[in-house]
Amino acid sequence: MTAHRFGTEITPDDIVEALSFFDNWEDRYKYIIDLGKELPAMDPAFRSEENLVRGCQSQVWLLKRKEGDRFFFEADSDAFIVKGLLGVVLAAYNGKTAQEIRQFDINAYFEQLNLLKHLSPTRGSGLQAMVRRIQASAA
């Protein structure tokens, strides 16, 4: 798996703070897309049916590994904005224990970002599918 900074160096608070600097959603979308550029591309060998997240408008692949009691995730998508949304989600969950994953209030986080109101319904559903997949892996 390829390492990235989400969840270890880039935290949910960092993302909330960064997005609060922008006055409009066009600039916020650009920032989210830039976040996605920080996610390394997934090895094509792992872009398999088994790692595909169902319920997403775009193709999304998610891998997990466990080191000790901590979960680490690698994710990729064929859409730039979705890669950025993956970064937003991974900031909340990557490098966390199962208990931390279960206890993190993802809905409050999305509310702070005012995110779901600015995504299409299918994009919002896909975002929730990513979250459910990560939460299920920690169950």
* Catalytically annotated residues: 56
Sheet of strand 70-77: strand arrangement: 60-67, 70-77, 96-97
Dihedral of alpha carbons 125, 109, 38, 9, sign: negative
- Token look-up 């193709």 returns 59
Q: How far apart are CA 112 and CA 42, in angstroms?
A: 29
Q: How far apart are CA 126 and CA 122, in angstroms?
A: 6
**DSSP strand pairing (60-67 vs 96-97):** unpaired
Instruction: Name the 3-class secondary structure at 69.
Output: coil
Residues 6+ apart with CB under 8 A from 100: none
